[in-house]
Structure 1
Amino acid sequence: MSERSIGLLGDRKRARLEELAQATADKGGVSLLRDAFQRLRRNPVAIIGAAIVLLLILVAIFAPLIAQHDPTTRFPELTKDLRVDSIPGARSGFLLGSDPLGRDFASRLIYGSRQTLFVGVLATLIGLALGVLIGAISGAFGGWVDVVLMRLTDVMLALPSLLLAITLVAMASKSSQWTVIFAVAIVNVPIFARLLRGSMLAQRESDHVLAARSLGVRQRNIVLRHMLPNAMTAVIVQATLTFSVAILDAAALSFLGLGDPDINRAEWGLMLGVDGQRYFDVRPELAYYPALAIIIVALGFTLLGEAMREAIDPKNRR
């Protein structure tokens, strides 16, 4: 290739780079979060997951308007047909028929979304708060503090999550809704602590942290203003994924009889464990519908969390 051809190719490449630079300057810079949000909007998996999550939230908020009956009321038109070997199915005014105590099964399913959302959100938030605290302290100070805290999290991670949750609930003098919430929260603490600690360790030698240290900025301000905000994105995404695990763990504890003993409380795991298991041969729908609701909600949060993880991954940026 002649020197003239090489020069023409160089001129064209230079002109193309100038056009791209000008286009970028006209549009303005795009932040990582904005770029991630734009890719989420084009991702069908994220849209499906967000739709399921939004539907759960709306059903939980407007449960009194959607449900036809009170979930704790026993109706004579249902109780009169209750038998040891027969539970009334769908009929006029009762879309899914009766539960074993003569209560509207459809209304209890709808109100169960409130309880499931409450347990999942609270357990995830408590686990997130404790995990962020441990991970921030470990990643910021290092040394023997990091060693002690990480060895404790390693012990917790060595045990299967459900087995650890069962152990924590069994240690309580009396099982309740709050024992389930705290057990599920404690199980998720080491996950958040490990993730945040790793993100903060990766930033300890980054340019902006070294610059802040050279300017004499206090260690507390470096951690709170520079390291922690930049490390929280991955933790928030993990919280979305952990929410689905929290729902499944809480449902499993209720299924095993270690959850809330209040039979009047409408909760999907309790409905699946107490009613669905006991009366499966009589009316299997009592187990099918709560199980299906748990699977769909867990799937929605999993799809949304995985899509968020891919969206913020720098390797996927184009």
Structure 2
Amino acid sequence: MTQHKIEKLERLAASTAEPGGVSLLRDASRRLARNPVAIVGAVIVLLFILVAALAPVIAPHDPVARYAELTRELTVDNIPGAQAGFPFGSDPLGRDFLSRLVYGSRQTLFVGVVATALGLAVGIALGTSAGAFPGRLGKWLDLGIMRVTDVMLALPSLLLAVTLVAVVARPSQWTVIVAVALVNVPIFARLLRGSMLAQRESDHVLAARALGVRQGAIVLRHILPNSVGPVIVQATLTFGTAIIEAAALSFLGLGDPDINRAEWGQMLGVDGVRYLEVRPELAYYPAIAIIIVALGFTLLGEAMREALDPKNRR
């Protein structure tokens, strides 16, 4: 090859290469910013978080108080609709329905965040134990943990959550959180375990093992940090699922028994279905809110999964 051709190839390579290279995270951020699906999902999630955080400012009335303007014509067969000062009308007890809907976002966000975080923490612990350690002990640990997760995954998630809540004498908000968290544990555990098995035989791990680095340090410094990315993305998808599952438990009457605490699933089940023929808006608004929020987290999670996939890099 002549010197002229070599210089031409070098100039071509220099013109197509980005200075300093681009990390996977930075490249993923760029693709997310150009992805309309990710933008729509992020906007929905951001609006949901803002409404929940600013509920005392946004809500026009106290969500627990009963108002004379609403109770004046309130009967079993007549629930007042929209009127001056109360855009969404009344609930069956004469409380401002719009304020309860706004405050319900706080409870929905709280249940979703805590349930997802709890399930993620337990799933990471189990997945790390199953996929990090080689040898006979690691094999038996992996076998035992994975068989337990197989049994949990064999049952429909909602049925498993209902079973867990039903065995509790007095259901509460925390029983719903724990039930939803346990349902999602095997998903996180299996995903992390598979990712860690792939990382366990990678070159940098073998090099660290050859240098005499202890197994615990290899797991915490090399294997786990490079394996947890897909699990975090899955947590975004699971958040939407957790909201739906928590709402389903409240809809079935297995959630928080406190009727003063507004929560979308409870509003849909306790008030919405009971008075569906009298005032269907009591069921429509919470249902629409749950669907939109779950859709937002699903869109954002799917976009993040595609953006972080190295196969999609160009």
TM-score (norm: length of structure 2): 0.96
Moved >4 Å (runs of 4+): 10-14
Is 1:317 aligned with 2:309? no
Match for 1:229: what amino acid? P
Distance 1:98 1:11, change over 3 A: farther
Structure 1 residues 158 and 37, CA gap change in structure 2 (3 angstroms)? same
1:249 aligns with 2:257: no
**Deviations 1:203-261 (Å, cap 9, x if unpaired)?**
11100000000000000000000000000110000000000000000000000010111
Question: Offset at 1:15?
Answer: 2.2
1:280 maps to which of 272, 276, 281: 276
One-letter code aligned to 2:32: L
Counterpart residue number, 1:128: 120
The aligned counterpart of 2:182 is 186
Aligned partner letter, 2:36: P
Distance 1:30 1:212 in 2: 25
Residues 84 and 23 of structure 1, relative CA distance in 2, 3 Å threshold: same
Quick one: which of 24, 29, 32 aligns to 2:24? 32
Partners of 2:168 and 2:230 lie apart in 1 by 33
Unaligned 5+ segments in structure 1 are 1-6
1:22 CA drift (Å)? 5.7
- Of residues 8, 12, 22, the one that matches 1:15 is 8
Alignment partners' CA distance in 1, 2:281 and 2:9: 64
In structure 2, the residue matched to 1:69 is 61
Q: Which structure 2 segments of 5+ residues have no match?
A: none
Corresponding residue number in structure 2 for 1:145 = 141
- C-alpha separation between the residues in 2 aligned to 1:119 and 1:259? 11
Report the secondary structure of 1:216's partner residue.
Answer: coil
- Choose which of 51, 60, 82 in structure 2 pairs with 1:59: 51
Distance in structure 1 (CA, Å) of the matches to 2:165 and 2:178: 9
Give the counterpart of 1:222 among 208, 218, 233. Answer: 218
Shift of residue 12, structure 1, vs aligned partner: 5.7
**Counterpart position of 1:262:** 258
Aligned to 1:213: 209
**Equivalent residue, structure 2, for 1:200:** 196
TM-score of the superposed pair, with normalisation by structure 1: 0.95
**2: CA distance, partners of 1:96 / 1:24:** 57
Which residue of the partner structure matches residue 271 of structure 1?
267
What is the CA-CA distance between 1:287 and the residue it aligns to?
0.2
Separation in structure 1 between the aligned mates of residue 21 and residue 174 of structure 2, nearest angstrom: 46
C-alpha displacement of 1:11: 6.2
The residue that corresponds to 2:230 in the other structure is 234
Q: Secondary structure at the match of 1:89?
A: coil
| CA-CA distance at 1:18 after TM superposition | 3.8
From the superposition, tell whether residues 12 and 48 of structure 1 become closer, same or farther in structure 2 (CA, over 3 Å).
farther
RMSD of aligned residue pairs (Cα, Å): 1.5
